[in-house]
Amino acid sequence: MITFAPKPFRLFRMRTPNYDKSPSTCVDGSVIQGWTDILHTLEQTLGDAPVWAVDLYVGSYTEDFLEAFRLTGREVVDVRQLLRPEAELRQLTERFMTDDVLFGYMSNLRFAEYVVPERVAELRHRIAAGERLVVVGTGAGFVTPDDVPVVYADLARWEIQQRFRRHEVQALGIDNRADSPSVQYKRGYFNDWNLCDALKDELFAAGRIRFWIDHNQRQTPKLITHAQLVQGLERTVSRPFRVVPFFDPAPWGGQWMKEVCDLDRREANYGWCFDCVPEENSLYLNVGGTLVELPAQDLVLWQPRRLLGERVWSRFGRSFPIRFDFLDTMGGGNLSLQVHPTNEFAHREFGLAYTQDESYYLLDAGPDAVVYLGLKEGIDSQQMIADLRAAQRGEITFDAEKYVNKLPAHKHDHYLIPNGTIHCSGHDSMVLEISSTPSIFTFKLWDWNRLGLDGKPRPINVERGRHVIQWERTTPFVLAELCNHFEVLSHTDGITEERTGLHSNEFIETRRHTFSRPVTHDTCGGVNVLNLCEGDEAVVESPSGTFAPFTVHYAETFILPAAVGRYTITPPAGTTCKTIKASIRS
């Protein structure tokens, strides 16, 4: 096995970093910070209510909240004491968790199945008797009557994942801190997060939430009112906006994002940047100069029609279907050779509504950059699977170039990757991955004799992969339908619009604009996601002045909610910019 060793690297075009890592929406008022002031504010505003419910998103530091709210002088009730025994909960969730290290099945469980009804009834009897209580924990709003005010402690999923890696927090009703981060993530993804989102949504719809606590920074909890949160969501969905990007190393990771996104140069590499995955990313609300962090999924839950548009919402519900992320191998190595499941397989095996179709748009590329895409003509599929199995056992080194097309990759190339197509981004590439949203459903077939960042081999899924590889997608198909399938739609003085994909099997369409003067766009009733893939910056404006001018910088991904309608993008005078735009096909 080999481990990552950074290669010599230089940017092919040096830039002054202007990538904004903390985009935000301004909200009126101020923030209450620290437990002392938070408790004082709650006592002033909720003091007449005999019972408070402090509902926690799973992954919270529950003991911090129990300790803090004991200072109110009220008796604190820990919701965990109302749950069924851990052994019963493990049995309840077993069919959704499965015994696979990565994949489970999307759960339809609800919190009512987690609690002991008699214990909830006993709590409600105490509340009816007039006891002064603070009920703390995930589901606090569920176990208390509808007239009990709720303080909701929300949490970003990226922060939850950091806590998994440090083995600090446990799952809902189950102490799994000793499990690997991937297994903890699996329980969150397939069960706990869906359940908590359903709970949170019910409380929001019922109008019970009075305050929100941001405790992503453990030592600095922050309190805002429900009205401030709603104002932040409404302002965000009325204009262009960006989610808060996050960056992560990878066994194949590179050096490009360190320079362009101005990241910590002391880190060995950064392989990933999630810069438009609302299920994973956060939003910042700038409240009087203080940043308050909340999950971007809250916007999808509570402003879906204005964000997505009626047409997209009716098709995908409260799920954001477009995903943009970065894959940086500049000075790094190849990604794993992989394939994504077909829709049929993803629905049957994992309970997904749709699978991860995708594409690779090259933001940058070294002189030797390549993409592995599709199968060579005339290969023996049975021998290929046999070789992959032997490589997985460590008996041989898999000869990828014997079976898979290896294509040169250049800046601004666009390779389309419908589900079932074997693929891999090679070294010295900076890929903007444009795809549908499901995030973990990649079947790795071969990982180049490489160890993960934890020093262990990464999971390989040859047996799943062989069921979904579309063996007819060989060289002629790849060259005709998947490589730089550009179609010029219009070319006028200073503006060229091209359709660049995605493949007809995929529900996302992408268009590239090259422009040296203002170009007009229209959301046409559906959400648009764009990236400024050439040019130092550009300004997004409303022809009718419905939102303030919004400046985007090179490599930044930005979202235009469906409600925005018409908008223009203007380059600096005397310069030429490019954007790549994704939307949902009608």
The residues spanned by each domain of the chain are 25-236, 246-278+320-479, 487-584
- Would you say 354 and 438 are in contact if contact means Cβ atoms under 8 Å apart? yes
487-584 shares the fold of 246-278+320-479: yes
With a cut of 70, say whether residue 480 has pLDDT above it.
yes
Length of the chain: 586
Bond before 432 cis per omega within 30 degrees: no
Say if residue 102's pLDDT is above 90.
Answer: no
Residues 154, 243: Cα–Cα separation, whole Å: 16
Nearest CA to 301 out of 542, 136, 57 is that of 57
- pLDDT score, position 11: 54
CATH number for domain 25-236, candidates 3.40.50, 2.60.40, 1.10.860, 3.40.1010? 3.40.50
Strand locations in 95-160 (E) = 133-136, 150-154
Taking the CB of residue 288, how many other CB atoms lie within 10 A of it?
12
Parallel, antiparallel, or unpaired: how do β-strands 519-522 and 75-78 relate?
unpaired
DSSP 189: I
Residue 238 to residue 304: CA distance in whole angstroms: 12
Q: What's the pTM?
A: 0.95
On the question of pLDDT at 450 being above 50, the answer is: yes
| Torsion on CA atoms 531, 505, 280, 446, rounded to nearest 10 | -100
Assign domain 246-278+320-479 to its CATH superfamily: Jelly Rolls (2.60.120.10)
pLDDT in tens, 129-181: 999 999 999 999 999 999 999 999 999 999 999 999 999 999 999 999 999 99
Both tokens of 582, joined, read 């994704």
Q: What is the CATH number of domain 487-584?
A: 2.60.120.10
> Taking all residues of the chain, what is their mean pLDDT, rounded to a whole number?
95
Q: What is the pLDDT of residue 14?
A: 55
